[in-house]
Every structure is written in C-alpha cells, then in structure tokens.
Amino acid sequence: MGKEDKTITDFILEPGSGLVYSTSKHILLERAPLYEEAWKALLTGKGKYTLILGAGPATWEVGYALQEQDLSGYDLPIIHLYDISPPPQAFIDMHKAYPQVEMKYHGDTDIVDFEIQPEYIDNTRLVSLHGVLDYLTPSDIASLFEKVIKIKPDVISIRTCTTQGAWESNFANKNQDHIKKEQESVARLQEGVIDIVNLEELRNSIMTLRIPREEKIARNLSPDYAASYLLPDKLTGYLIGQGYEKPQSIVCDVRGTEQPTNIMIVFKLKENTS
C-alpha cells in the first residue's frame, strides 16, 4: 500500500464524535465528485459568508477548496465554522496555511443552538452540513433547516449518512425495515419523483435507529447519539418547496468501503426568489 493510500483508514478520535476519517483531496474527489460543486460555491459564489455547520473534517470542505488555487483571483467569503468541539489541529494548520482568508471557528457550539446573525441573511454563498445530521434528533434537524431557509444561502451542500454501512445495518435491520425505506427514497430521488413536503412532514419522515448505549460508546459516540437518518426525497421535497432547484445528488462512500455509506446532495437557490 502506497503512502497516499494510507489515508483511507486514518481517522481522528474526539470524545463522542464517532470516527472522523481523513483522506486526500484526489481520493475524496474520486469517491464523491460532487464536493467540487461546494468548493466552487465557496470560491466564486454570491454573498459575503460561508457557513460550515458541524465543522468536523473542515479541511474537506474548506481546505481542499483553497488548495492549489491562486487565491488572489477570488473575492473570498468570510468563513464561519460551527462545531461542538474545539478547533482541531487540522483547522489550526489550515488557518496558518491561508492567513489571507478570514475564518472563525465557533467551538463549543452545538449546532442545535446555532443562532442566525442578521448579516448572514440573503448574503451567504454556501451553507455546508456534512456528516452531522445523524447526531441530531428529528425535531432538532427540522429546526436547523428552518434556520437555514431563513438565511437563504445560494448553495446548500449536504452529506448524510445512510443505514447501509456495516455497523449501521446491524441496527437498521431491527428497526422497522429502515433499509428498504431508505432505498426506496434514494430511488425516488434518482428518478426525480419528488413530492413537495412541509417542515412537519420532513420531521416526521426522519428515521431513528434504536442503538444500545454500550454499542454507541464502543463506536466512540456519545450515549445520547440520536442516530437520525433522513429520507433524501423528503429532504429534497422540502427544499424545493422553499425555493431551491432540483438538486444534484450522488450515493457514495467517502471512507473507501464497499457499502454506499453516504448520500450527497447539492441544492442551488432559484433565481429571483423572494
């Protein structure tokens, strides 16, 4: 195995954060090419701000967008990163590498308590929510999307977890046939068969896995980890109803395993949306 490939199984442990994997830019693009749409929005989008909610491996969402770019050619946004954990070393290194980019890491901030700043509204080019929604309850997810819609970002980039990973499927099979519901939802998304739903319908569609406390702890997760899994056609139906175009989407695996453990969806705001 070459040096580059070693990143496939590297991960960073923060208490209660699960397994946060790291990988190189070119391998990430091979697995999830839709990341490039978010990077394009960060570099060239409209609006003064970019918001990373649940910063996690922020180098994937910010650092790789900046990497190998002549930044003097871009009107870059102010980047705000919100996460319940303090800034990881990866962010500190990234911040040092790009002193010309204005970034602020809001550590110790549960994104459930994320507060909209007035200056964000109608002035945000990208809101990114990657690999974090499964930590929230269905009600908290609905409340967070209600806030995002009020901001009205030009682009929303979302990467959700699926129930089909080796660990997750152990519990999904025992939770009212969640895997089948998810597969049917993904098929509807890919076929473009989308029904508009309201916020309450979105909340009610979110599945939660019943996972024993000891299993969560063994996975480096908090005992109160919510294990929430969205049906992507319902999420899409909600955001289209709130003024976004039909999205680009892929089923992918950023970890390099054989299972499609992620769904990535990128939404763009329709022009002339009031």
Question: Does 30 fall in a domain?
Answer: yes
The whole-number pLDDT of residue 5 equals: 36
State the pLDDT at residue 186.
94
> Is residue 95 assigned to a domain?
yes
Distance CA(182)–CA(162), nearest Å, equals 8
pTM beyond 0.85: the answer is yes
Confidence category of residue 177, pLDDT binned at 50, 70, 90: confident
CA–CA separation, 134 and 188 (whole Å): 21
Residue 15 falls inside a structural domain:
yes
Q: How many domains in the chain?
A: 1
How many Cβ atoms sit within 10 Å of the Cβ of residue 166?
10
On whether residue 273 sits in a domain, the answer given is no
Report the C-alpha gap between 182 and 115 in whole angstroms: 31
Q: What is the span of the domain harbouring residue 16?
A: 4-268
- CATH classification of the domain holding 205: 3.40.50.150
Cα separation, 134 vs 72, in Å, equals 37
- Residue 254 falls inside a structural domain: yes
Grade residue 173 by pLDDT with cuts at 50, 70 and 90. confident
| CA–CA separation, 83 and 107 (whole Å) | 5
- Model confidence over 28-67: pLDDT tens digits? 888 889 999 999 999 999 999 999 998 766 668 898 999 9
- Helix or strand or coil: residue 54? coil
For the segment 109-160, what is each residue's pLDDT rounded down to a tens digit? 889 989 999 999 999 999 999 989 999 999 999 999 999 999 999 999 999 9
Chain segment 226-244, per-residue pLDDT in tens? 999 999 999 999 999 999 9
pLDDT bucket at 13, cuts 50 / 70 / 90: very low
In this prediction, residues 213-219 reach a mean pLDDT of: 92
How far are the Cα atoms of 31, 101, 108 from residue 163, in angstroms, in the given order?
A: 18, 37, 28
> Within a domain: residue 274?
no
Q: Residue 12's closest CA among 60, 56, 52, 65?
A: 56
DSSP summary character for residue 7: G
Domain assignment present for 181: yes
